[in-house]
Chains A and B, each alone.
Chain A
């Protein structure tokens, strides 16, 4: 028996064969992988996982891939006990799940792309594609190169090329589209439907997004097979957040852990907060917004999984909060100076929102809390220009050093 049973519409429940499909033919709802958990239960154990590769593929029994061939080193990133930040916030059991050091392109996208392109190879695709200038483009271009796949990256033509140097180095074909972001989105959907390419977050999206579940599996294993009490994660499309939730649910389903599920706390930037707004207004649909924030890696104005993220926040007795651009910068600096981890704006948003939740009394001091850091600060250093300590200039003189730096005479 196969571990993956079918694809199923999240809205109407219609089932489909396991193919590169992503929306329901009837109601246009998104499709999700359905597993045979009884079958998986027979083959999975803590011991088997612990003996597996030191990558996300140690959880292959819970992923929609038979033979992983792409991104073999992705995942299994550090879970660090944040003693200093915890002390400052008044939390005794705060942990940082650090995907800023994911392999090969330093963000959580290496997880989802590893799964998407491994599956794409199984389906027989020879071309990978995405619309991005950021972490997603970096990861798709790198993985496509290592998998000997052709790669297309779509961007709006008014963007500077140096924004995508971290992708161009892997030699993809970059297509600059005359038009705005909406035009790029629409064209990408049309191309995904017409060409036989694996467009990672369109036609192979049901497989791609499953990669984020490994963020839950790893945390549980690294905590000694325990589910945390509270999770704080950024919200962009809503996919990562809902898949972390799905991951913890599955671990219980197959009997690897037995604790209660975590409260899911979500973080958005104030300048792009359509999921927060829907949650606060009690809406079950998302009103798209035009992003206006420095947190560009999570600035998704029309998030596909937004309604499901709202549902998870409610179901888990969680909450969603926002951070201003200034608070995002402070979040980046706070994590760096307390824990020595340099994250980008998504991580800054997560830390800023974690602080707000603590201040609002929503997290108990002894609860086990995990904050997900999903990207690396070295990619977007420009946001910190003028926001850090000034240099101290001195002449090469010991006297001047003592006077100006140490304050001693």
Chain B
């Protein structure tokens, strides 16, 4: 089992959608939310995604396709 700590940021139009519920039904991953703040215009949450490596990869890809900003908890580490 692998685990990945992620920060998800939802744009306003996605806040009302059950994204995480769909994620768990579509991929063999578990989520554990550690911190969240959902407001009228923007929502973010920090969670741990556990599962097999390829399922995690697919889940992250799917989240990005839904318009969710997915980043590692460390933020941007690449520096140009």
Contacts and interface: CB of A to CB of B under 8 A. Distances in A.
Interface string B25-58: 0000000001101000010101010000000000
Interface of A: 11, 22-23, 26-29, 130-137, 154-156, 181-182, 184-186, 188-190, 192-193, 199, 201-202, 205, 236-237, 285, 287-288, 296-297, 299-304, 306
A132 B71 contact: no
Contact of B4 (A137, A190, A202, A300): A190
B79 A302 contact: no
Given A182-B71, A288-B9, A134 B79 contact: yes
Contact of A188 (B3, B77, B80): B77
Contacts of B48: 28
A27 B5 CA distance: 11
Indicate the size class of the contact surface on chain B.
20 to 34
A63 B44 CA distance: 34
A112 to B, nearest CB: 11
B59 interface: no
A185 B74 CA distance: 9
Given A23-B5, A288-B9, A186 B78 contact: no
B34 to A, nearest CB: 5
Given A188-B78, A189-B4, A301-B76, 10 more contacts: A28-B48, A132-B79, A132-B80, A156-B78, A185-B76, A186-B4, A188-B77, A189-B77, A202-B77, A304-B75
A237 B46 CA distance: 19
A199 B34 CA distance: 24
Nearest to B6: A186
Contacts of B76: 181, 185, 237, 288, 300-304
A301 B79 CA distance: 10
Nearest to B60: A186
Contact of B46 (A28, A288, A296, A303): A28
A406 B37 CA distance: 67
Q: What 5 A-B pairs have minimum CB-CB distances, sorted nearest first?
A: A304-B75, A189-B72, A131-B78, A302-B76, A296-B80
A237 B75 contact: yes
